Amino acid sequence: MSFQWGGLADSPDRLREQQPPEHATQHRSSIEVIGYEKFDISSHEDGSVLVSTVLTERFTGAIEGIGVADHIRLLHPDGSGISTGIERIEGAVNGRRGSFILTAYGRNLSPAKVSGTWTVQPGSGTAELVGLRGRGSYTATADPAGHWRAEGEFVCWFEEPSSVS
């Protein structure tokens, strides 16, 4: 039995990440958090908390559009932590319009700094984004007023719809 999810594919000995093809292109985008909701899930004896956050984000640059992300986060008292989530973005990538899904994994480096990676979910592109593949990284910081902004780098490519798995 075989599976592929978020750019990871199984192999006989371990999971491996699909490498971008030679025609993949490198890009940058900026992300601004324009909406934020936090829901407490549980508290732990060590002071850490498990929370769910829903973010609305505005992307500018090679990715243009609005994304809605749902993350589960484990936050420690010192501000460090980890997160995983899924985001749907409606807009355009390099001028091609549609929507697509990202899977994301992040690490809180401090209460005001987060970094992580994301992968385009294979087969999630719609309209002109059918066949979109890619992955990237981001670093986000909060200003003193608590407004979050991120800078991201990513590599993307398009596959023929019949080869998307």
DSSP 1-17: ---EETTEEE-SSSEEE
Q: How many domains does the chain have?
A: 1
Measured CA to CA, the distance from residue 106 to residue 116 in angstroms comes to 4
The mean of the pLDDT values for the chain is 88
- Residue 14 forms part of a structural domain: no
Confidence (pLDDT) at 16 = 52
- Residue 9 forms part of a structural domain: no
Measured CA to CA, the distance from residue 157 to residue 24 in angstroms comes to 5
Q: Which structural domain, as residue segments, surrounds residue 62?
A: 21-163
The pLDDT tens digits for 79-119 are 999 999 999 999 999 899 999 999 999 999 999 999 999 99
Taking residue 108's Cβ as centre, other Cβ atoms within 10 Å add up to: 21
Measured CA to CA, the distance from residue 92 to residue 132 in angstroms comes to 11
CATH code for position 84: 2.40.350.10
- Residue 159 forms part of a structural domain: yes
Three-state DSSP state, 129: helix
Q: How confident is the model at residue 159 (pLDDT cuts 50, 70, 90)?
A: confident
Confidence (pLDDT) at 160 = 75
- Residue 12 forms part of a structural domain: no
